[in-house]
Amino acid sequence: MLSAVPTLVRVASRPIEALDLYHVLPGSRALVVGFAEPAAASGRRAASIDPAWPLAALPRLARAGRCATVAFADGEPLHALPALLAAAELARGEGFATALRTRELPSAEACVALAPRLDAVALEVAPLSSRPCGAARAHDVRDRLARLRQAGVWVEVVTPLAAEVAARDLLETALSLKAIDGAIPWHVRAQRKLLLERPERAAAEVAQAVAAGERAGLEHVYAPEAPSGDREITYCSVCRDVVLIERFVGQPQSYLADGRRCPRCGTRAKGLFERTVASVSA
């Protein structure tokens, strides 16, 4: 077990899909964790951190919430990397799936440290560009995603869309994902400000991103604001028209055969669809 500074955690139970992880134990719940400094270290009164639990309580809290996954997503978990590594190792050792939802690109060194302790990562990535001003960042993003996938970590990518994103940048993003692994789910969504103030523009941006993903040959492109209304559904990557998982209202409905196969062609759905975890077996 890694040693770590004394750490408090804030936790909440949420559907795994709320973390933009659609191919990780669909329909299950995750214990979402955020890190907080102990009151003595931060100079605040203990009562100001409410609720707060010691790191060692994570397995008990996850079991109590019937959570299959312990997910690090509250705040920016990478800013507390030593605590994140210790908590992920603890959760995995107790049989839970572990996941990270981050808006920050991890360093190459962080990827090496995280990979043995994580089952899945949802990474927020702005549209990439092949132009000189953005080529270096695009290279870094591709490198980190490739490192994680090669290490066996399941990856899903989330791209927030602002007004007038260049079509070539969306295609560059989709092609970059395809080059790493065409099975990486790509979640595209309009930024909240754009959605509220210019809904027609938001719909156009989302439609453009969906088209880019299809042109690049990605197997799964998810878009809650897509005009077609069917972009929250997981389809078979081979049959293309066979619904594997529906996500409309309430609990996702799975039509997978034997837990993770297409009922028509038998193709295995890619992701983490089956796992024996402590919260289920306890």
Task: For 238-268, write each residue's pLDDT tens digit.
Answer: 999 999 999 876 689 999 998 899 999 999 9
Q: In which residue ranges of the chain is pLDDT below 70?
A: 1-6, 37-50, 227-229, 249-250, 275-282
pLDDT at residue 163, as a whole number: 81
pLDDT score of 44:
47
The whole-number pLDDT of residue 280 equals: 36
User: What is the pLDDT, as a whole number, of residue 73?
Assistant: 96
> Contact 31/71 with Cβ under 8 angstroms?
yes
Q: In this structure, what token pair is assigned to residue 276?
A: 């024996």
pLDDT tens-digit series, residues 165-198: 899 999 999 999 999 999 999 999 988 888 888 8
What is the DSSP secondary-structure string of 178-237?
Answer: HHH-TTS-EEEEE-HHHHHH-HHHHHHHHHHHHHHHHHHT-S-EE-TT-TTS-TTPEEPT
CA distances from 48 to 12, 39, 44, 54, 264 (A): 17, 8, 7, 15, 55
pLDDT on residue 281: 34
Q: Are 235 and 255 in contact (CB under 8 A)?
A: no
Give SS3 for 264.
coil
- How confident is the model at residue 41, as a pLDDT? 44
pLDDT of residue 173: 97
What's the pLDDT at 48?
43
Model confidence, pTM = 0.90
The per-residue pLDDT for 277 is: 47
